[in-house]
Chains A and B, each alone.
Chain A
Amino acid sequence: GQNIDQPTEMTATEGAIVQINCTYQTSGFNGLFWYQQHAGEAPTFLSYNVLDGLEEKGRFSSFLSRSKGYSYLLLKELQMKDSASYLCAVNRGSTLGRLYFGRGTQLTVWP
């Protein structure tokens, strides 16, 4: 099977910066996605990395190192509304659009 690991829980305070790590071991790689999921809601797309390096989009940035099988999602200037589960997902390429998801990291932002 595919192995995608991310921490189960993280906490941080408003205004801080938090980094959520994801490591993966998959047979084949064609991109890594990050999704945000608030409790009881659908996942929403945050970022996509297929090449090594950092992609920045407002307060959120995502990094990929293909050689290390590693990605992180960086959230800056945290707000209470950022409390959610953050899902890392890998596209293997050989399996068309199918994504393999990690279990998600539950982030709690405290005032």
Chain B
Amino acid sequence: GAGVSQTPSNKVTEKGKYVELRCDPISGHTALYWYRQSLGQGPEFLIYFQGTGAADDSGLPNDRFFAVRPEGSVSTLKIQRTERGDSAVYLCASSPTENYGYTFGSGTRLTVV
């Protein structure tokens, strides 16, 4: 597509539930990034994919968070046993290669109640 698409745009879930957030990057972009942003803060890195593999997952806060990109295009961020502290906007970005300006998606606003 023309831009980075993220679905859903909003997700409200109960504490303890499992959620999946989807990112569809710009066609042909090999680099894909997940960030999360809390109110009044800059985006915080979670994970970076180069193709199908996670090149850097050091930003994932704990083992409840996992992400995949099985065919090197669409990526899914998975959060198990959600906690209220997971509430944030989850941003996906893609770029043609690493070390190049990103294009961000509009984000998924996750609210855990």
Contacts and interface: CB of A to CB of B under 8 A. Distances in A.
Contacts of B4: 42
B56 A44 contact: no
A95 B45 CA distance: 11
A4 to B, nearest CB: 8
B99 A103 contact: no
Interface residues on A, range: 20 to 34
A100 B102 CA distance: 13
B16 interface: no
Is the interface on chain B under 10, 10 to 19, 20 to 34, or 35 or more residues?
Answer: 20 to 34
A99 B45 contact: yes
Interface in B58-113: 59, 91, 95, 97-107
Contacts of A91: 99
Contact of A87 (B43, B50, B99, B107): B43
B1 interface: no
Interface in A41-77: 41-45, 48
A42 B99 contact: no
B104 A42 contact: yes
B20 interface: no
A74 B107 CA distance: 27
A97 B104 contact: no
Given A33-B101, A45-B101, A45-B102, A98 B42 contact: no
21 contacts: A41-B106, A42-B91, A43-B91, A43-B104, A45-B102, A45-B103, A48-B101, A91-B99, A96-B48, A96-B56, A97-B31, A97-B33, A98-B33, A98-B45, A98-B56, A98-B59, A99-B43, A99-B102, A100-B45, A101-B43, A104-B42
Given A45-B102, A96-B99, 12 more contacts: A45-B103, A48-B101, A87-B42, A87-B43, A93-B99, A97-B33, A97-B95, A97-B98, A97-B102, A98-B59, A99-B43, A100-B45
Interface of A: 4, 30-31, 33, 41-45, 48, 87, 89, 91, 93, 95-104
